[in-house]
Amino acid sequence: MTRMQLSPAGEGLPDRREDLLSPAAVETLFWQPRFIADPALMLHVPLLFWLAEAARPARLAVLGAGEGAALFALCQALDKLNIAGRCEGIGFWTDARTGAPLASPPGAIRDHARQLYADLAQVRAAADAGAALDGFRDGSLDLLLVDLCRLPAGAAPDLAEWRRVVKRDGLLVLHGIAQSGAAGTGRLIDQGPRLEFPDGAGLALLPQGEDLPPRLRALMRAAPDGVVAGEIGLVFRRLGQGLEAMARQVADAARADAGQKALAAAQKGQAEAEKALAELRDAYDSHSRRLGELQAELFSLRHETDQLHEDLAALTWQLEESRSNEKAQRERAETERATRFRETAALTDYLEELRDGGPALEELRAQLKRSEERNGGLQAELGAARQELESLRAENRRLSDYTAELLNSTSWRITAPMRKVKDTFRG
């Protein structure tokens, strides 16, 4: 009986480690991401899951963490594969209103990392892409993923710096190589071994050495020109498109919710604005009415002011005229008083002379009587004497009338105290 020739164990069988679609590898492709965001990156999340199972990296970093899709996909892979590792996410987040760099990651990313990957994930914000990796030692990372779409505007690709921090047998993963701003990166990655996945924004795997994990080495052999195509590319693309659609749906729902909130806020703001506008209109109407009343009052006050100015001018003119009249009257009074004093003095002297002349008149009468008795016959002389006597009588009457008028005059009454004083001294 011929003995059966048995091959040595495993001889002629394919190396299961290089089986691209082994059960373990296939299972990773169908993992459901715990964090859905950024449709462009969600397209490549199945590849990241597969790559984590194939390469088993323990020290990872994501430069340009953005919305967190790649960061949390790698953290989920470490968690599900029970790899005791660490994944650091570095983002260049900015304020949506001002555009200024943020000092810390957004709340949603920070909270998700703390709640699910507190022992795996570390997230920090950076402002300068050139200095973002300064804290890493040379050759300290098993895998570095750089999202070219999430670098700060104007930041130039720095492959030398990125390669510096990756181990000799590690992986550099670039997302966004199909973007127009990454043309310089495209020329640089053509210089060495690579695997390109052109779907979406494009993703490239850049091995840093020749000692590759078996499945990754098999994948590179399946894409000798560096571009993963055919059925293998179709598997990654179909699975990624499902996650991309899911992410778009989540983003659309978030935008719709934000739109509903914005619409509600806008409607509320419109109602408040309409209320405020109605209040402003009422206030404007009230203000207009008050303004009309004030204008009427102002017109009345101006009219009264003009009338007061006219009255003041008339009073001023009257005051000046009164002052002039008063001055003239004062001057006339002074002149009249001086005249009265002179006249009074003259009358006083005249009266004194008349008083002194009274006895002489009586003597003259006595002489006349004696003369009549003596010279009864002298008619001519008697006539002359009578004529003279009548003349004296007329003068006497005139003086008596003048004296009576003088005694009744104001000047005489005013000078009465002076006469009393004078009589006293004569007395």
The tens digit of pLDDT for each residue in 12-71 reads 434 455 666 677 678 899 999 999 999 999 999 999 999 999 999 999 999 999 999 999
The closest alpha carbon to 87, from 199, 190, 209, 173, belongs to 173
Task: Indicate yes or no: pTM above 0.75.
Answer: no
Q: How far is CA 353 from CA 348, 349, 357, 399, 415, in A?
A: 9, 6, 6, 12, 18
pLDDT at 147: 96
Q: Which residues contact 53 (CB under 8 A, 6 or more apart)?
A: 24, 25, 28, 77, 81
Mean pLDDT value of segment 193-216: 91
Q: 102-157: per-residue pLDDT in tens?
A: 999 999 999 999 999 999 999 999 988 888 999 899 999 999 999 999 999 888 88
Alpha-carbon distance of 224 to 103, in angstroms, equals 44
Kindly report which listed range (187-196, 312-321, 328-337, 373-382) carries the lowest average pLDDT score. Answer: 373-382
The closest alpha carbon to 119, from 65, 80, 75, belongs to 75
Alpha-carbon distance of 176 to 119, in angstroms, equals 29
pLDDT at 95: 92
230-374 and 45-55 are packed helices; what angle lies between their axes, rounded to 10 degrees? Answer: 120
Q: How far is CA 426 from CA 344, 412, 419, 421, in A?
A: 19, 19, 10, 9
Q: Domains in the chain, start-ordered, CATH in brackets?
A: 17-228 (3.40.50.150), 340-426 (no CATH)
